[in-house]
Structure 1
């Protein structure tokens, strides 16, 4: 992929010149850039950015698969946009292009030059970071595609061979081990400090080491179907060295900056806004599903409902008026599993009338769709304000508060201590230590609430109720309530994974976890149905059901969406190696073929 390497470098340099001159100090002629021009502190932020965008796009698109989101787009425009056909599980290889492009073209192709320059300077911490990000990117690709170019991907091969998923997995773990010693080394006196170029951890090598062990715990736990490879002791050991709290977690802090007028050369999005805003909330297409919104509701025996205190932050709300006073309505979830709403012109687009202060839908028969609130936010590049990025009407009415993870300034939680606690709860629950699992589970839920509040408190006074902190009283009441397991006999794997699903919303890992437990088939171990009420969309297109996901029942492997087909770049330009990588690589049902760690043994 030598060709891609130089394309990627030119993108990095071009973006640096027009958007972020402070990231790029150029002594050579900028009209004839070479791979030697970009400094360490200018190159690393772009590598981090493009990996982050790849992961954000993957997590967003996985949300259509794992039941988090759907789209208002109708079947009549099915072929024109991924927001149209993903809700129907009518898979097309176009949906897998963005993560591939941002990883290979924007990030991976620049790692070799970053390492080379770091070696010349004795900037050892940059070498460690390069190996970590290399591991993260290729693990994303193998979780996404199964087999893909790896050992030959970044060399001089125009048509690189494919490696098996297990080979890539093992190579990524080896990269993590390779990275660790570099973080313990003292950089040479004149070497570029990691702090100068690190947009993730601000040069804190301790946080990078915690990230390494967190990744190990996550990836090793993904082997839960592999009886000979699943090693609980190694996972627990990694957790002990992973992030312990907010201060040791890897969190990317984004901003809604009025000066952020440049655009990502691959996607055309702002450079400093959150990846999920760029992917999921720039437009008004996306709605939450009922499967997802139901996770925040706890029906009581008397018919009442207790709500999760995260509900008004994790779900979008819009402003309504009654008797001249405003109030906020939390979105309803679109029931794509039990209803055929997608095949009946819904959910329809709504409009807001500032004169009457009311919402309406012009599509006949869909008037009730005003209950579904868009995720849309507005960044400065679109005319929004830096401190208030919600979607507003002409009269200032808030048409969407956005969600905790999808506003322009929302954080990206790359690796957190609460994820470590969820993994620990799962591992020791499997071992039979239900008491220890209960403690880890409760710590994980509390951790996620604390992480959310840390960010929410940083917003200060604002007009968006979705950005206000959760009261400590509400947190304490929830943590002590019957909404979550309080005793050993109440804790189940389904409950652990439900709370993890909420905390890890919009992440690729939620899809990974669903695959590990066979979604709602209930045929993994003695855990029962781990994701109750989940199913394929009722409006799954007939061709998709018969050709791409042909399984007749939930216990059939091919009933579920288990991988992505390779994007058109590989299909068009590396077809021979693609076909040799998997006997079903170009078959219609490749989407329902398990990646290597998703096969039980």
Structure 2
């Protein structure tokens, strides 16, 4: 596995003292107080470090991926377990408290001092986002005492405290992003913002998207339908208006460090394979009840990889079950994520934008929040409050939004498109939208329809949002209309770890290297030293 070295601003210290004729701290080429514009790009680049690293493990919990080799098939994540005494799954934690952490505080503080309200607002936006991600993954985390100086012991807060904190950070972000009295001599967000090129309106939409996600975590709470669902809908309506406004981080692929972690060159998904679940959702068997050509989702050829042997009835798209490994040999093996008929990495020693497929190329984007994702969020919120017409409109918008996501021809920094050779045609889209895969009216749409289409749209990148969704539905909850599991195709592994006591994974342990080494007493207090901590219900899962 190739290592990543991102240009983090590891420490910023200002040394007091008088100006001397020889001052080692006044080199103009290495400023002691860099402008926010020089720090901000590293913060954007840092986000995929957390989401993609930890996504390797969470992707197995939600059955986006499974391992192909017999040795790796017994990876504990395939069986809903969690390894102890390891930093596995600790990268979003690392990004929250180290990678972004104090560096976002620096951007905010410097921005406040210099009237750079746009950088202040964007800094708060990223801070809200990373705390939301951290609480979603780990549950109880350090929030109120985060970045407290002169101590190595930090208090953990319950998940609801952090969620309220995220709400407050979002309000601050909106206040500063909306200010018109910028110090124009010192503030130009476009200098450091390579995602939205300094467009504050899009940053405001991003913040509203985070607020929508934050409120939508409360679906199992008694007040959701009477109060919180309206907030979800309101903030989605204030967020992205189409897929061109998606918040995505581009990779330059000029060297190892700025190349896609999931691309062929970095070689981190060689033993990963698509699952039977995602294949079934796209070949028609799980959504329409039969894998005939007429039921085949046109997105399948762009997202998934076909085997060399295509005689299996769905065009050669095969998938694995968790923990079983690859049962086939020769041309009937499940293809690698990097492309059709590929069983090994095609270019692990060279950059090649033409190699790879979908989000598994070197020079591509890493999505963070998308229009499609938020439309499905709105659809569920509206459905839960019995606004079925609004739910259906958002559901259709979500599907079309994901088609647009695949068909999008341009991304920041000239990243490659996601479609394979040619985009999905209007005729293909129309045929799918009128097929048995898609609910044809507001009167028949169900939670299953909404959640499975959202699963498809988030497959391969937003493992954490899908994991939140699956945990909100306790993985196996039935649809109240169909009385069958919402997540069709999800398979409970045959051999759950003994310490799971029959339960599925619900959280990742805090990062071992910082927490279990330095903060053990506090971890003991919240129960994180128990061997079954990874199956303890999250706050948002319970009424």
| TM-score tier after normalising by the smaller chain length | 0.7 to 0.9
Q: 1:423: which partner in 2? A: 377
Q: Decide which of 472, 497, 504 is 1:560's aligned counterpart.
A: 504
The answer on 1:341 being equivalent to 2:329 is no
Matched, 1:177 2:171: yes
Alignment TM-score, normalising by the size of structure 2: 0.84
Contact 2:284 2:291 in 1 (8 A): no
RMSD value, Cα: 3.3
Deviation at 1:379, TM superposition (A): 9.9
Match of 2:425 among 471, 475, 487: 471
> Structure 1's 91 and 587: CA in aligned 2 closer, same or farther, altered over 3 A?
same
For residue 284 of structure 1, the aligned residue among 261, 265, 270 is 270
For the residue of structure 1 that corresponds to 2:89, the secondary structure is helix
Shift in Å, 1:522: 2.3
Q: CA deviation at 1:303?
A: 7.1
1:285 deviation in Å?
1.3
Q: After superposition, where does 1:281-430 map in structure 2 within 5 Å? A: 282-299=268-285, 304-305=292-293, 306-317=295-306, 330-336=316-322, 341-342=324-325, 346=326, 367=329, 370-376=332-338, 382-385=349-352, 387-390=353-356, 402=357, 404-430=358-384
Correspondence for 1:397: none
Deviation readout 1:35-65 (Å, 9 max, x if unpaired): x343312211111211232123333432110
Q: CA separation in 1, counterparts of 2:187 and 2:206?
A: 21
1:302 Cα deviation after fit? 7.9
Matched, 1:87 2:78: yes
Q: Secondary structure at the match of 2:435?
A: coil
Contact 1:459 1:467 in 2 (8 A): no
TM-superposed CA distance for 1:120, in Å, is 2.5
Who is 1:206 aligned against?
201
Q: Does the CA contact (< 8 Å) of 1:12 and 1:43 recur in 2?
A: no
Equivalent in the alignment of 1:590: 533
Cα offsets for 1:100-133 (capped at 9, x unmatched): 2233221112112112221222111111111111
The separation in 1 between residues aligned to 2:434 and 2:335, in whole angstroms, is 31
Cα contact 1:142–1:169 (8 A) shared by 2: yes
More helix as a share of residues: 1
Q: Which structure 2 segments of 5+ residues have no match?
A: 1-6, 14-24, 340-344
Classify 1:459/1:129 alpha carbon distance in 2 versus 1 (closer, same or farther; 3 Å).
Answer: closer
Gaps of 5+ in 1: 1-6, 14-25, 79-83, 262-268, 323-327, 348-365, 391-401, 552-558
Secondary structure of the 1:298 match is coil
With normalisation by structure 1, the TM-score equals: 0.77
Residues 438 and 488 in structure 1, CA contact (< 8 A), matched pair in contact too: yes
Candidates 547, 550, 554, aligned match of 2:501: 550
Structure 2 match to 1:167: 161
Does the 8 A contact of 1:520 with 1:533 survive in 2?
no
CA contact (8 A) 1:281 1:406 kept: no
| 2:113 corresponds to | 120
The question of whether the paired residues in 2 share the 8 Å contact of 1:418 and 1:445 is answered with: yes
Q: Which runs of 4+ in 1 moved over 6 A?
A: 300-303, 377-381, 456-460, 462-465, 523-527
Determine which structure has the larger strand proportion and give its number: 1
Three-state SS of the structure 2 residue aligned to 1:10 is coil
The correspondence for 1:67, drawn from 63, 80, 90, is 63
1:55 pairs, out of 51, 68, 86, with 51
Give the aligned partner of residue 134 of structure 2. Answer: 141
Among 534, 539, 563, the alignment partner of 2:490 is 534
Pairs aligned (count) = 506
Offset of residue 468 of structure 1: 2.5
Q: Separation in 2 of the partners of 1:510 and 1:467?
A: 28
Contact 1:520–1:535 (8 Å) recurs in 2: no
1:539: how far off?
4.4
Q: 1:228 aligns with which of 223, 232, 246?
A: 223
2:169 paired with 1:215: no
